[in-house]
Amino acid sequence: MKKLLLILFAIIITGGITMAKELEQPFAKGEINPYSKFFTGTTHLQRLVERDDIWNSSIANVTFDAGARTNWHKHSGGQILLVTAGEGRYQEKDKEIQILKAGDVVKIPPNVEHWHGAAPDSEFAHISIEPNIPDNETIWLEPVTDEQYK
């Protein structure tokens, strides 16, 4: 019994057992992303505004587990990302990777090949806005390799 109490005391004074903390973000995390075949790692999707002819946009909250990322892709009508939590990455074809943090805004012109996702050691969330509906189509391309990601 004495040994058990000493072990418990040691755990308490050294910081104890840490529980995984949920990423704090302003919108619901959503369900497992139904487009997972176009991603590496686990992502979640919460639709905020469905595609329609009134608002001419589609808006969703996308949450990435650490290291998760999209495939290379492009949007015929462009895309806007509003970073809400965590640390992420964004890269356009043949350009340097950009580090993204809460409050960053990325405006992606039409037909620009790019990828985005979480940092290797951080969850990440952004609002994805696809303007210019109904003519904005997403064209999914090859996965981002581990070498490209790092």
Specify the pTM: 0.84
Q: Which three-class secondary structure state does DSSP give residue 88?
A: strand
Q: Is 63 a domain residue? A: yes
Mind listing the pLDDT tens digit for each residue in 135-150? Answer: 899 999 999 999 999 8
Split into its structural domains, the chain has a count of 1
Task: State which H helix or E strand residue 75 sits in.
Answer: strand 73-75
Q: Is 116 a domain residue? A: yes
Q: What CATH number does residue 118 fall under?
A: 2.60.120.10
Mind listing the pLDDT tens digit for each residue in 18-50? Answer: 445 789 999 999 999 999 999 999 999 999 998
Listed in sequence order, the residues at least 6 apart from 134 whose beta carbon sits closer than 8 Å to its beta carbon are 51, 53, 56
Range of 99's domain? 29-149
Q: Is 17 a domain residue? A: no
